[in-house]
Chains A and B, each alone.
Chain A
């Protein structure tokens, strides 16, 4: 890829600057500053935009004719839309985990990836947020779900996990957005300062919110960052736990399981990291960020994937054990049905993608090879989508009373919507790559050896960050 675009790609080649700090700055900022991105970006953006259009079209059609445009049926009343919702919410988690938890754990390597991991979170949550709204039968009145004053003097029903979702996902999105944006302020200021044209100066100037890099500002920045990190940390665990309650608190065999919250969170981190590497590998190749996002970083993430992958595998196993141990015939049947029933193909796809293939990361050769990393990342994403499909569709297609059993077949619109949501995601992400600092410049510098006490004091305006323990 890199070689392919090297002639036309302004992002490659040595970054300018006489110190490392200057070079780091240039390496990141030039991406946002290049007057014209290479054709590669346009092609990618075009594809994403086309998919996004498909998204809009499919949702428009669903609004017009009704949910029946999708394949949902009786008994599988929840299908693709909810699968996609859970999938995207899950993706979000890695971002918050990296930016918040790893920060609190002082994992300095996070600085290379946290920025676009956070961006990924925002965009994933945006994708996720759309589905609950459009999957309902009368999408023009979701406001019934919000506790707003109304002439019926009616409240929403707070016993419903769906109601909890609204608040959980809402909070999550807000915090993540704040966290992401605040973290960007110093870098936006950098870009503002390097800006050469008035509009850029103005726009980045507004976004930078008057950042001057005074030590007072830095001090406040650090505090705020710490606080938000502390706020975000429980969210990483809570959001997907709440989402898992949609299923865990229900009666349906295959849903009604106490293991769901931890299992969902692990799965979310698993899938999230997979998405990060899926994005990171092309990004670092294409935007010439190899110097900042090193193989070491990818390797570390692959290790996380390996670990969480095994947690997920454990959960799969445990589900079966509990089903057998409970002696509940309906529970037993659901799992037998997953293995050998009509949807067995989905189940085995999931196992292959989530449990088997990630084991390759035991081999250093594999986890240090960018393309293998990318491939496995994609595979895991597929697997995690199927995990939700198995949980939702397979369980519902055969529940208590055999007379209700059915076999859900998605419609074309279903696939259009699914693909479209990726369109939305990538459109946003490509815009982010194009216009915003993809790597946290300041933070990278802060962990750069030159930033360590003793030298390089006046090396660069933003260099003296207290956070260099």
Chain B
């Protein structure tokens, strides 16, 4: 963790990009030994600067006499206290998503943030981090971020300066202060106290001004639901770890798109341990597969529009069992969609189970469900005595509904009642519903000011565009999901001189405090009076115990909610009435991450799709409508149309379509798509289909096949699996991925060890190594893994794994070291989902080692398969002989191509080198022609070993964490020394349900999987 003097880590900062070029430390990074990855041309393993010559001329030139490039060592003129060149340090900070701050620890190397992980002290993170968090460091170094203030004069957009903008403010501010009634702010949802105080200042000093909270993909229906239940708006905080029965109704609470998804997965996973304490049972009712649906023991596919009816039916059933019938219970709905016997049985059993586990059951409702649905869910949580056990409520200040606030703003603009519109961190031109026509509205506003990181769809239309500082570049604060005060500190000074939201507001209202640090300190002067208290809070990244006490809630009697015909709508391919669900994407969220290459290439957890979106529909629906997998399809709803590829997704509710939002951006950047740079948009923009009234769940959609196909770049089943292939998959799925029910498991705990019958395993070779000293191993608990894929991005960030782009993914050349294999079993209508993360298995009797002609992959004395990039000549025999196919080959020069350099010609556009600042100097950056694979994060192992040896002490268990293990929200991965019987991993390996895949090949993998145990309700089987 960081030491005390990080309060002013200024000296380790860049001052501005312009200065990078002559900044000694930047030069040092470019040239000195500590930062090899920055040496654009020299990144080929085996070809550092001095050896590159050989690469070009061939070995024969390597004869006496030739000197190589002269390297410079540029030391500090004054070395800041506590800074040790070439040593990385961690700082606590936080990022906010949709009003929830998640505490993070960011590794800084010579002043560069290069790696993110969760802050163990923080309630929303508990040490875990999502793929969004992991990818944050890449966004910091995005060369497409806006570099300076721009101003729209007439039609022409001209570069301006902060100074000019401030002058402009001086003239305007007076008018606003006189009469702010035509002044509006549209800002992201935020829990930052500093922002709140500045908002109040602004509203106070600009009389009549209005503040509009805006979120493109999240409703405030949950809060509205609580208002219906408890009279006041509350925020629900769930403690899933205490739940024996979890019901998710269209909820993606464990997904990255849920701001508290990390801690939710943690809680959920804690209930999924079959050993010792009783295991939880998870039910999911949803229109599309979700991560919760993935680990659910029972899953019911049901269109989103029936959710309300379903909850009503459940409410009726539960109330009946509790003898509470009548007391505000919903009448049994007449929805035909619930009449199916299976559904009836499901509801009945579920109700029984919920009641049986009263006080240990919880119901999660999807954010996009109507407020009434949430109200019923909350009511049930109260009835089932979950309050204080599985869920607590915190009172929120009364606020206008977001949707109303937005439409209000648009009305005012239409009525020319708005002269000045300030947009903070949002992109409404892209994300607002089409009927809002935000672009049109913007043109009616005289002065529009956008504070955004990119010159995006909105910013480029605003009269002023001010670059926004990235979260890791700014001081700030926020509240955790449970209300704990969270502080964030900058890891690096704004590379493009951007302003944080609070600094910008301070500028607007002409606050005396302009510096982010000062503003935040002022906000919390009362809470953190002393320097010591402040230092501690910054160091920890939060103020412990600052969470408000849970409010006590009294359940109001709910009216019988009318079920509109859209709630009762029977969707189905047969009757041609379909529903369309638009949802935040698990990779680009609402589109704000669409210029982040790591996230674009991250396989979507359920569909495994990279680089784009598609319309999800169930195979049955698709076949009924004659739409093939990957065919182009035209989706139309309420007169608006969209053409995009169709994607078969098992478990998609019959007649329900789903399109992830946030794609098809025309002004994102060189990754996500940009018209001016001739970069075609990634995916298709589905926002135009949403409407202000029904933004996310639209009834009466239709879909028809149109001519043409579009290859969907999935990393699994890239090519349609034929009959014989499917047969093969069915045969071996059960062998690779051990699964059973809790009941059977208790009878035969070591079933997983007897899946495959094979002769006694004997090797041709005697073991070359005895594994004295350390013996590294890993265990992956398939019962905890939700498949969220945060580990993949963590691995990519830690190990400098290149992004290959859509074309290469389509050719099957993705480089990700860690695969999360996804298997479906059961019927396509109601599939069971299983995930299996597959890193290098680090076999003790490794097939790869024996076939490499040059000995580029060798066995270490601690049992690692060392991969030596600079020895590898790329015969690819190791990959051919690896049964797990975990080895990845650099078919092209992926890293250099991205910065438009070749091994022979260095980068011309220095700005592109910014991307290389994210490299981890502890790991060689591979160039074309070499094989690579998971190393168990050997660089971390080595560094800890050296530190321990220097101090002449032993290595503690858990001291070495691999990147994937570190970030895993559900703590499914354990790693450590197998020679230490007390280590977590040794214990896991010793569990009866631990098994290795393809054991019969006698490779003796060091990775063991803990079998997946399902806990079905006896009556549902």
**Residues of chain A at the chain B interface (Cβ within 8 Å):** 65-68, 71-78, 135-145, 152, 154-157, 159-163, 166, 246, 249-252, 329-330, 333, 336-337, 340-342, 396, 398-407, 409
Question: In the complex, what's the smallest C-beta–C-beta distance from B335 to chain A, in angstroms?
Answer: 39
Q: Is the CB of B891 within 8 A of A68?
A: yes
Given contacts A68-B928, A403-B819, contact A337 B855 (CB under 8 A): no
Q: 28 A-B residue contacts at CB 8 Å?
A: A66-B890, A72-B876, A73-B891, A74-B888, A78-B876, A78-B877, A137-B873, A137-B875, A138-B928, A138-B929, A156-B853, A157-B852, A159-B851, A162-B851, A166-B853, A329-B732, A336-B724, A340-B724, A342-B722, A396-B880, A398-B728, A400-B998, A401-B736, A402-B732, A402-B733, A402-B823, A403-B838, A407-B718
Stretch at the interface among B84-92, B290-298, B810-818, B942-950: B810-818
Question: Which residues of chain B in 705-742 are interfacial with respect to chain A, using CB atoms and an 8 Å cutoff?
Answer: 716-719, 721-725, 727-729, 731-733, 735-736
Number of CB contacts from chain A to chain B under 8 A? 193
Given contacts A138-B930, A400-B884, A402-B733, contact A68 B892 (CB under 8 A): yes
Question: In the complex, what's the smallest C-beta–C-beta distance from B785 to chain A, in angstroms?
Answer: 14
Q: Note all chain B residues with C-beta closer than 8 A to A163.
A: 853
Interface centre among A142, A157, A162 (most CB of B within 10 A): A157
Q: Is the CB of A160 within 8 A of B928?
A: no
Given contacts A403-B838, A406-B812, contact A160 B885 (CB under 8 A): no
Question: In the complex, what's the smallest C-beta–C-beta distance from A6 to chain B, in angstroms?
Answer: 50
Bound state CA distance, A324 and B813, in angstroms?
33
Question: In the complex, what's the smallest C-beta–C-beta distance from A170 to chain B, in angstroms?
Answer: 14
Q: Note all chain B residues with C-beta closer than 8 A to A160.
A: 850-853, 877
Bound state CA distance, A137 and B926, in angstroms?
12
Q: Is the CB of A138 within 8 A of B46?
A: yes
Question: In the complex, what's the smallest C-beta–C-beta distance from B818 to chain A, in angstroms?
Answer: 12
Interface centre among A74, A136, A154, A340 (most CB of B within 10 A): A74
Q: Note all chain A residues with C-beta closer than 8 A to B850.
A: 159-160
Question: Which residues of chain B in 31-83 are interfacial with respect to chain A, using CB atoms and an 8 Å cutoff?
Answer: 44, 46, 54-56, 58-59
Given contacts A141-B46, A399-B883, contact A337 B725 (CB under 8 A): yes
Q: Is the CB of B819 within 8 A of A140?
A: no
Q: Note all chain B residues with C-beta closer than 8 A to A71.
A: 811
Chain A residue at minimal CB-CB distance from B715: A403
With an 8 Å Cβ cutoff, the count of chain B residues facing the other chain is 68
Taking A66-B929, A162-B853, A401-B838 as known contacts, 12 extra A-B pairs with beta carbons closer than 8 A to each other, sorted by chain A number, are A66-B890, A137-B873, A137-B931, A138-B873, A138-B874, A140-B54, A141-B54, A251-B1001, A252-B881, A400-B998, A402-B732, A405-B721
Q: Is the CB of A251 within 8 A of B853?
A: no
Q: Note all chain B residues with C-beta closer than 8 A to A139.
A: 929
Given contacts A68-B892, A162-B875, contact A398 B725 (CB under 8 A): yes
Chain B residue at minimal CB-CB distance from A74: B812
Residue in contact with B855 in the complex, picked from A141, A157, A402, CB distance below 8 Å = A157
Q: Is B889 an interface residue (CB 8 A)?
A: yes
Q: Is the CB of A78 within 8 A of B880?
A: yes
Q: Note all chain B residues with C-beta closer than 8 A to A137.
A: 872-876, 889-890, 928-931
Q: Is the CB of A404 within 8 A of B885?
A: yes
Q: Is B879 an interface residue (CB 8 A)?
A: yes
Bound state CA distance, A469 and B770, in angstroms?
64
Question: In the complex, what's the smallest C-beta–C-beta distance from A147 to chain B, in angstroms?
Answer: 11
Chain B residue at minimal CB-CB distance from A65: B892
Q: Is B821 an interface residue (CB 8 A)?
A: yes
Bound state CA distance, A402 and B873, in angstroms?
28
Q: Note all chain A residues with C-beta closer than 8 A to B852.
A: 157, 160
Q: Note all chain A residues with C-beta closer than 8 A to B929.
A: 66-67, 136-139
Bound state CA distance, A400 and B822, in angstroms?
15
Chain A residue at minimal CB-CB distance from B902: A64
Q: Note all chain B residues with C-beta closer than 8 A to A329.
A: 731-732, 735
Task: Give 7 closest A-B pairs by Cβ, nearest first.
Answer: A137-B874, A137-B929, A68-B891, A403-B821, A77-B876, A68-B892, A404-B885
Q: Is the CB of A68 within 8 A of B813?
A: yes
Residue in contact with A144 in the complex, picked from B55, B814, B823, B871, CB distance below 8 Å = B871
Q: Is B226 an interface residue (CB 8 A)?
A: no
Bound state CA distance, A67 and B733, in angstroms?
33
Q: Note all chain A residues with C-beta closer than 8 A to B893.
A: 65-66
Interface centre among A76, A166, A400 (most CB of B within 10 A): A400
Bound state CA distance, A399 and B885, in angstroms?
9
Bound state CA distance, A337 and B721, in angstroms?
12
Q: Is the CB of B725 within 8 A of A405?
A: yes
Chain B residue at minimal CB-CB distance from A78: B880
Bound state CA distance, A252 and B54, in angstroms?
36
Q: Note all chain A residues with C-beta closer than 8 A to B732.
A: 329-330, 333, 400, 402
Q: Is the CB of B892 within 8 A of A66?
A: yes
Q: Note all chain A residues with C-beta closer than 8 A to B879.
A: 74-75, 77
Residue in contact with B884 in the complex, picked from A72, A333, A340, A401, CB distance below 8 Å = A401
Q: Note all chain B residues with C-beta closer than 8 A to A161.
A: 851
Question: In the complex, what's the smallest C-beta–C-beta distance from A159 to chain B, in angstroms?
Answer: 5
Q: Is the CB of B874 within 8 A of A136?
A: yes
Question: In the complex, what's the smallest C-beta–C-beta distance from A174 to chain B, in angstroms?
Answer: 20
Question: In the complex, what's the smallest C-beta–C-beta distance from B306 to chain A, in angstroms?
Answer: 34
Q: Note all chain A residues with C-beta closer than 8 A to B891.
A: 66-68, 72-73
Interface centre among B716, B851, B880, B892 (most CB of A within 10 A): B880
Q: Note all chain A residues with C-beta closer than 8 A to B928.
A: 66-68, 137-138
Q: Is B854 an interface residue (CB 8 A)?
A: yes
Bound state CA distance, A242 and B1009, in angstroms?
38
Bound state CA distance, A191 and B885, in angstroms?
58
Q: Is the CB of B813 within 8 A of A250?
A: no
Q: Is the CB of A74 within 8 A of B998?
A: no
Bound state CA distance, A139 and B875, in angstroms?
10
Bound state CA distance, A404 and B877, in angstroms?
16
Bound state CA distance, A178 and B899, in angstroms?
51
Given contacts A138-B873, A141-B873, contact A74 B853 (CB under 8 A): no
Chain B residue at minimal CB-CB distance from A76: B812
Q: Note all chain A residues with C-beta closer than 8 A to B55.
A: 138, 140
Q: Note all chain B residues with C-beta closer than 8 A to A140.
A: 54-56, 58-59
Chain A residue at minimal CB-CB distance from B871: A144
